[in-house]
Amino acid sequence: MADEKDAPAPPGAATPPNGETNVFGGKNPHGLYVPMSETEQEVLQRLVETQDLVVIIHGWGVLDNPKVSFGDLRVSIPMTVTFDRPAVPVDVWFLDLELRSKSTGMSLVKQRQSVVYDGQPIQVVAGMELDMVWDIAIHHMSPEFVKAIKPGAIGLTSRRLDRETGTATLAGNMQLSDTKKDILQWAEQSAAKLRKDDVRQAVKVTRQAGYEVEMTADGPVAPDLPEPKVKGQ
């Protein structure tokens, strides 16, 4: 998944003198990204420690208590999905993945993941196992999600939330110098290009799979796949 950490650093974004953090306080001094807040990281820690996470592979399966590793931006989930149908191989162009809290039923991340290789879809048949790693970059968590997992959370729960409106913005509530604002703007423009490529690929495989995609002011919209009936492992 594309994000700020994939973008090369612009002039002025040199490694800070202490060599321990990037210009926005991220733990990777060589990465150009805005890290999650300590509150958001604590929420992830709670979800992992209490085994409160489930991966929904819509239309196919459920992965309960996935193995999750995370830093101050990325969440990584290795998984093996075991298919118990169909009897005859079928082409599959994408998987709809959702990371959900079991206790609240709230979704943390939803993503349409292309499974096209060398321009061709994978073929799925009963008994097949698919090994994959879902790599997620967390831009910010909704305050509702954070407070559902950590009821005592107060104030602004993400660096990306504006102090006055409480909505997610580029600079959020961060106190940035003019130089850092320029770096953040540059990084966001670079990341936006990568995200656009992700969306373009998702639209392409959705159409190749035979689904209609409606282009709206808020972005492309396509039908959701049904709730899963197959167990992932």
Q: How far is CA 211 from the centre of its chain?
A: 23
Q: How far apart are CA 204 and CA 23, in angstroms?
A: 36
Predicted local distance difference test score (pLDDT) of residue 180: 96
Segments in the chain below pLDDT 50 = 1-8, 11-15, 227-233
- Average per-residue pLDDT for the chain: 88
* DSSP summary character for residue 193: H
Predicted local distance difference test score (pLDDT) of residue 88: 94
Give which of 210, 59, 184 is closest to 121, Cα–Cα.
210
pTM of the model: 0.84
- Note the residue count of the chain: 233
Predicted local distance difference test score (pLDDT) of residue 80: 94
One-letter amino acid for residue 81 of the chain: V
Predicted local distance difference test score (pLDDT) of residue 155: 92
